[in-house]
Each structure stands twice: as structure tokens, then as C-alpha cells.
Amino acid sequence: MNELIIHPVGALRGSVPVSGSKNAALPILIATLLCDGPSVIGNLPGIRDVTLTLRILARLGCTVEQMDDTTYRIDPTHASAPISAEPLTERLRASAYFLGAFLGRFGRGRIGRIGGCDFGGRPIDQHIKVLSALGATVLVTEDGVEVCSEELKGTSVSFDTVSVGATVNGILSAVRASGETVLYGAAAEPHIDDLIGYLNRCGANIRRAGQNEIRIRGVRRMRGCSYSVIPDMIEAGTYLIAGAATQGAVRVRGVNPAHIAPLTRKLKEMGADVDEEEQAVSVFAPGRLYGTRIETQPYPGFPTDLQPQMTALLCTCIGTGTVRENIWRHRFRYTEELRRMGANISVREDTATVVGGVLTGAEMTVPDLRAGAALLIAACAARGDSHLYDVGWIERGYEDFVGKMGMLGASVTPI
């Protein structure tokens, strides 16, 4: 699928099921390599990044079997360290996690260049810091990254910035190292805890000692286990924002309301009614919502991965809103596309100022995953049809987004 036509139908109403979390599924799938036996991983989202990760695992020699729509059995018994850099890693940001897994399993390995959404540079110095601290040699070349180590030894590492990816690599490389590793300034995202939950069930000894501190006592062996991935908080938030932007009523089922509390708090502040159940959240927008201030922060702050969708919502609001991006300072490229719809947005350094108004349908090109979701939301809230190009980005992280938007009554036609 490369192009979508969006015909606005007014308020989006209805209920959608939330799939498994992309950002939990990817590290957990890669962590299966560290076990001595098979793992059965359930609630995997049907998205391109998961398919790619499973393909890479199979190419490494893992036996990958599909058990049902969302469940795969991965047996890493016959996996071996890659001889050459795996080219598929270039299509995936999470491929950086193979570095920690390769070190823990084989003591060496290499990946191609690291892919993913382009936010104007995505450094890996903190990944290198933690892997080196544990005793690995890390070589970054034009073609990718190579790691090797004689022996991984537990140690203390203080991250200079909170990084989801570097935290994952720290955990994966320390889990079978000798002694104890303490990660200070580690990420606190629910997907990190899900990875910890999976590894502990396999026999690892990892615990959070505080919001940003993780203690890992290395173990010699880990067996595989059966594990179900947590729901995707970003997918859930995206559909709630779509409901709010179209003055509709949307319920997302199968989500942990605590994970999206930073969003639901904002939606309430903006004038929406929000109802939280044990595993579902509903939003009802009685009319246009009011502009507000958003500032992205690592969890439990407002997630950067909902920033573009919130900007789209602010375009439809009464009054002015501001969005300050503290994680990816260049994550505003999509605002050019929103301007094609008549959005009144100005970006200065890390902050976008959005004056709410009326959007009109336009032709737009998707620059990255979450921006794609934002443009889709804006198109549903606009007057007149929109054409969206390069929508393959959206398939990387949203399972059946055309079908799920359809469940809410949206008219989205793939070309």
C-alpha cells in the first residue's frame, strides 16, 4: 500500500481493539536469542517491524513458527553469530538491540546500518557507553556496527541521557554477564518493564530499584518461556486523539489506562470527557477542544511518539497551543505537510506554536511513522478529501490501521 484517499465523514465513533506494543515486542523478540530453549511470544502486533525482526531471527538460524495470528514460537537453539552484516537491520531502528543480544549469546556479532524514522540524527553513544562498560569492543563503520567481548562483566553505568534503546542494550548485554550491573538514569517506559518481565520469566534476575535505576544480577542460563506482550499505548493514544480531533467518541479496548495517563490528563484539560475502565479508555469530545501546552518527556512524561498526533489535534482546537519537543528536536518535519491543509503552525527551535482553525483536504507525503498517523487524523478532521502518499511508514507501526479507522467510521481507501 502506498497511497490513501481520506474522505472526511465527521465525528469518528466506535470502539477499536488495541494490538500488542511495537516497542515492547521488538526487544522481547530479539531477547529470545539469549535463551537456551524456545519461547512462545503472544500478542505480537501484525506490523512490518515485527515481520522484519522475525525474518532476521530466522536468518540467524532460529526456528520461527507461527502458532496463531499474534503468537510465534522462536527456538534459538541453532542460531549462530552473523558472518556478515545483516542488510535487513537497515530497515529497523530496533536492530540496535541485536548488539546486546549478540554479545550475551555469542560474545560477538555485527549489524548493518541502523534504520528507523529520521529525526535528524539518532546517536548511539549511550549504547556504546553501556556495552563498552561491560567489557565489549564496539566498532562503528560506514556499513554498520560490530561488537565483540572475551567476557562480559557486571558494572555500574550512569547514562548521560535517558535512552530507551541504550537501556535495552544494557539489559540484554548484562543479563548473562558475570556479577551485578546497575544502570542509573535508565528509561522507565512500560516496554522496558515488559522486557524485564519476559527475561525474569526466563530465569533472569533483574529488578527496578527506583524509577530510573535497574539492577541486573547476571545468570548463567536462561530457559525460554511463554509470554504475552503488553498493549500498545501509542496506538491506543492515536485512536483517542483521532476521536478528539473529529469531535467524536472513541473507546480503545485492551489497554492499560495508567500507560496513557499523560495523554488522558491533557485531553481532559482540553475539554474532553474521558472514562477509564480496567482495560479500556473512552474519550468523548462534545465540540472543538481548547488549545493547550504539551511538552514531551521520557516516561512518565508526555510521550514523544504522540507528539505529532497531538499537534494535528491542536490544529482543530479553539485558541493557541504549543508543543515543545524535548526528545527529538527535529521531529517537526510533518508540520510542512499540515500547512498544506491550511494549518497555522510555526516552528522555532524545539517548539511548535499552533493556532487552531479549520483544515482543508490536501495532498500530503508521510515523512515517518507517527507523522503518518498525525496526517491521517488531520485529514479525517478536515473539510474535503485528502491524498496521503508514502503510507508504508504507517504500516511499520500500526496494525491494520485502515481497518481500525474503518471501525470508527472513517472513510480511508487504500490505492
- Minimum CB–partner distance for residue 129 and ligand EPZ (Å): 7
Among 124, 188, 270, 352, binds ligand EPZ (CB under 6 A): 124
117 binds ligand EPZ (CB under 6 A): yes
- In the complex with ligand EPZ, the residue whose CB is nearer, 117 or 242, is 117
The residue whose grid cell reads 482543508 is 360
Enumerate the β-bridge partners of residue 61: none
123 binds ligand EPZ (CB under 6 A): yes
Rg (CA), the chain: 21
The whole-angstrom separation of Cα 121 and Cα 112 is 17
- In the complex with ligand EPZ, the residue whose CB is nearer, 140 or 182, is 140
The count of residues interacting with ligand EPZ (CB under 6 A) is 24
- Minimum CB–partner distance for residue 295 and ligand EPZ (Å): 14
Contact 131, 121 (CB under 8 A): no
- In the complex with ligand EPZ, the residue whose CB is nearer, 11 or 347, is 347
- Minimum CB–partner distance for residue 281 and ligand EPZ (Å): 19
Among 2, 137, 141, 161, binds ligand EPZ (CB under 6 A): 161
- For the annotated catalytic residues, the residue numbers are 117
The whole-angstrom separation of Cα 61 and Cα 79 is 4
Which one, of 337, 365, 372, 335, lies nearest residue 350 by Cα?
335
Full DSSP string of 160-210: SS--HHHHHHHHHHHTTSBSEEEEET----HHHHHHHHHHHHTT-EEEEEE
The residue whose grid cell reads 491524498 is 387
Residues 355-374 that bind ligand EPZ (CB under 6 A): 369-370
Enumerate the β-bridge partners of residue 280: 253
SS3 5: strand
Angle at 214 between CA 209 and CA 219, to 5 degrees: 110
Among 53, 304, 311, 365, binds ligand EPZ (CB under 6 A): 304
Residues 309-338 that bind ligand EPZ (CB under 6 A): 327-328
The whole-angstrom separation of Cα 247 and Cα 358 is 13
- In the complex with ligand EPZ, the residue whose CB is nearer, 23 or 246, is 23
26 binds ligand EPZ (CB under 6 A): yes
166 binds ligand EPZ (CB under 6 A): yes
Contact 50, 400 (CB under 8 A): no
122 binds ligand EPZ (CB under 6 A): yes
**71-75 vs 39-42, strand pairing mode:** antiparallel
Interface region with ligand EPZ, contact rule CB under 6 A, candidates 36-44, 103-111, 159-167, 317-325:
159-167
Among 397, 398, 401, 408, binds ligand EPZ (CB under 6 A): 397
Residue nearest to ligand EPZ (CB): 165
C-alpha cell read off for 357: 482553525
127 binds ligand EPZ (CB under 6 A): yes
- In the complex with ligand EPZ, the residue whose CB is nearer, 164 or 206, is 164
Contact 165, 24 (CB under 8 A): no
- State the residues that interact with ligand EPZ by CB under 6 A: 22-23, 26, 93-94, 117, 122-127, 161, 163-166, 304-305, 327-328, 369-370, 397
